[in-house]
């Protein structure tokens, strides 16, 4: 199964079905050619990449996984 992503910006606008290359797809949808990585600090002091800043939009990425549960 291929990975797919979605994003939510600071205005709660959602961007669904970004495919396997979310950066490229977000740039196309928002009409930009450049972006910067967005980071979030962890409690231990390290920083992790959580999305992209594209123009005036701060987009946080999420990996979408299908819901599966056994029938028992």
Residue-level pLDDT, tens digit, the chain, 72 residues: 788 999 999 999 999 999 989 999 999 999 999 999 999 999 999 999 999 999 999 999 999 988 888 877
Chain centroid, CA 7 distance in Å: 4
pLDDT at 14: 97
pLDDT at 66: 85
Residue (of 21, 16, 15) closest to 2 by Cα position: 21
pLDDT at 46: 97
Q: How far apart are CA 19 and CA 72, in angstroms?
A: 32
pLDDT at 27: 97
């Amino acid at each position: 199964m291929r990975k797919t992503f979605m994003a939510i910006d600071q205005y709660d606008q959602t961007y669904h079905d970004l495919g396997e290359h979310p950066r490229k797809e977000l740039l196309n949808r928002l009409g930009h050619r450049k972006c910067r990585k967005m980071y979030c600090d962890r409690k231990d002091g390290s920083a992790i990449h959580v999305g992209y800043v594209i123009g005036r939009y701060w987009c946080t990425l999420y990996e979408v996984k299908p819901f599966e549960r056994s029938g028992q």
